[in-house]
Amino acid sequence: MVDVQDVVLSAREKQCLQWVEEGKSSWEIGVILRVSENTVNFHLKNAMRKLEVTTRIQCAIKARRLGLI
């Protein structure tokens, strides 16, 4: 189980997760943040690993519940 005190999300991971909450695709987030779709996926995968979840939606929900975003 993830201890919230041990989880530190980068600013970019937080930004990506906030856009996931808004229903944006990786491509759309990339356009908004002016980075590639692959870069968005990189940040989301890192956040998913840190929060021990398997989907981007689970990640956004868990990050919100833990007060990380």
39: domain CATH number? Answer: 1.10.10.10
pLDDT value at position 2? Answer: 65
How many domains does one find in the chain? 1
pLDDT tens per residue across span 50-60: 999 999 999 99
- Angle ∠(22,15,33) on CA atoms, nearest 5: 90
pLDDT value at position 5? Answer: 72
Query: Domain range for residue 44?
Result: 4-65
Tell me how far apart the alpha carbons of residues 42 and 23 are, in angstroms, rounded to a whole number. Answer: 18
Q: Which residues of the chain have pLDDT under 70?
A: 1-4
The reported pTM is 0.92
Residue 19 burial by Cβ neighbours in a 10 Å radius (0-12, 13-18, 19+): buried
CB–CB of 16/40 below 8 Å?
A: yes
